[in-house]
Amino acid sequence: MVTNFFGTNQMVTMCCRIFCQLQPLKYNIGLTKKQNNMYKALIIFLLMPLLRIDSCTKIEIAADNSVDTNVVGKWVLKYKFLGDAIDTPCGYAVTDVRDITLELSENTESSAKKSLSINGNSAVNNYFGNFTITGFDTKTGIGTMKIGPLGSTKMAGPTELMDCENNYFNMLNEFSEFRVQEGKLHIGRFKKDTTPSRDGGTYFIYEKAK
């Protein structure tokens, strides 16, 4: 909410000047007592619209919906941060795995202003869904969002890759925060306080696809 440039002090000063400029006119035309009272009432009546400007003229500023969150695009999952340790997408023991990707684009089927479409490759299947931004704190650079519902193709694969995929989908469905830090997209749950702890949050670390 922004107040009109006519502040209260400026308005009072302007009204006093107008009143003083009109005072000589009263004496020049020789008003009677009754006419003088009418004169005062007329001056007050004429100044009322001006006095009301400060309290009535307000400019509504809509919430900033243009915050550039830099999440749109294709991302590749590189790591998982798990409290106090970093792991690869499917664990260091699983080496033969394709890139797990996340592509965020404008959702043309939704009327929500901050609704994006999700498409990507998991360890075995392709998946899709919605990524809806519900808030963004410009001070911390952390946004809140809702993912889902997620859908996927139904191909089968090796047990270790299917376990990796199920774990990936389950974590995505539970996560509710995101941020872009040093060009990397983090999606998960972040540590907010500065108290020393082994729980530094749990989140995925994506890098922009080349």
Q: What is the pLDDT of residues 128-159, one digit of tens each?
A: 999 999 999 999 999 999 998 999 999 999 99
User: How would CATH label the architecture of 73-208?
Assistant: Beta Barrel (2.40)
Position with higher pLDDT, 18 vs 3: 18
Boundaries of every domain in the chain: 2-59, 73-208
Position with higher pLDDT, 162 vs 110: 162
3-state SS of the chain? CEECCCCHHHHHHHHHHHHHHHHHHHHHCCCCHHHHHHHHHHHHHHHHHHHHHHHHCEECCCCCCCCCCCCCEEEEEEEEEECCCEECCCCCCCCCCCCCEEEEEECCCCCCCCEEEEEEECCCCEEEEEEEEEEEECCCCEEEEEECCCEECCCCCCHHHHHHHHHHHHHHHHCCEEEEECCEEEEEEECCCCCCCCCCEEEEEEEECC
pLDDT of residue 64: 40
